[in-house]
Amino acid sequence: MKTGDAPRNVPDGRGEVGTTWQERAVERRLGDARALAVARSTKFMATALELVQESGQANFTLQTLAERANLSVRTFYQHFSSKDELLLALYEDVTARYTEAIREKVEAANSPMGQLEAWCRGVLSRPGSSQEVGGRLVLIYNLSLEVEHPEAFAKVWEPHRRLLTEILTACSQAGVIRNDLSLSQLTSLLGYTMTSFGQFNALHEGMEGTSLTEDVVWSWCRQAIEPSAARSPTSSQ
């Protein structure tokens, strides 16, 4: 065996078996590099979110971003290929947290219809009230991403759509929603409708001026998806 070679299946200092000292040294080095890369990319993303929330726009320069983050533009390009890639990564992160926040509300409800109500109210309130999950960024980037990168847009929003489908499936099994439309159709109709309401709420800082409160919107949605026999005869008034 040559100098520098190490036998396999020899316990390391922690009693672990199956790697050489070279492999452990490389893995340790790579682990440190990964941790640094995650820390720096996270710093860039958090700083970008601050800039968007402050200005209401995503028109900051990379120089401004780097200075605010106390990093360099060169370091930025070691982690992101462009500003667009940074915004997409931030959009993915914000959307995932947005969906998770709504899921928590849904799971706290005690019935299928209660879960649907929690989802609807969550969609209405989160974009306008939750600066911590970057609601403004979602509004800014939503349309451009859907138009310019439809596949990426669909991938980002798939968990949110899946959550709504799960809720509607439970409602369907409980017999509390109409059955003349498929779950896919109901998911699309309700999803697009509530997302539009949520965006309007955020852009205009509330819907009270139009008398479209959360209660009114939820009542309208509920009557739209309930079985016909359960609908109020005065619902059209």
| Threshold 0.75, pTM exceeds | no
Measured CA to CA, the distance from residue 129 to residue 15 in angstroms comes to 51
Instruction: Say if residues 167 and 160 touch (Cβ distance below 8 Å).
Output: no
217 lies in the same domain as 118: yes
Of the three residues 47, 80, 113, the one that is the final residue of a domain is 80
Q: In whole angstroms, what separates CA 37 from the centre of its chain? A: 22
Measured CA to CA, the distance from residue 64 to residue 70 in angstroms comes to 10
Q: Let me know if residue 3 belongs to a domain.
A: no
Is residue 58 pLDDT above 90, yes or no? no
Neighbouring C-beta atoms of residue 146, cutoff 10 Å = 14
Give 175 or 31, the one with higher predicted confidence.
Answer: 175
Phi-psi region of 82 (alpha: psi -120 to 50; beta: other; left: phi over 0): beta
As a whole number, mean pLDDT of residues 27-55 equals 85
Q: Let me know if residue 6 belongs to a domain.
A: no
Q: Let me know if residue 141 belongs to a domain.
A: yes
Measured CA to CA, the distance from residue 153 to residue 69 in angstroms comes to 28
Q: What is the pLDDT of residue 113?
A: 96
56 lies in the same domain as 149: no
CATH of residue 75: 1.10.10.60
Measured CA to CA, the distance from residue 119 to residue 26 in angstroms comes to 46
* DSSP result, 156-207: HHHHHHHHHHHHHHHHHHTT-S-SSS-HHHHHHHHHHHHHHHHHHHHHTT-S
159 lies in the same domain as 71: no
Q: What is the pLDDT of residue 205?
A: 57
As a whole number, mean pLDDT of residues 85-107 equals 89
Q: What is the pLDDT of residue 135?
A: 59
Non-local (6+) Cβ contacts of 111 within 8 A are 174
127 lies in the same domain as 33: no
Least confident of 29-38, 139-148, 153-162, 178-187: 139-148
Find the domain containing 152 and state its range: 90-237
* 197-224 pLDDT tens trace: 777 766 665 555 566 788 988 999 999 9
50 lies in the same domain as 128: no
Domains of the chain: total: 2
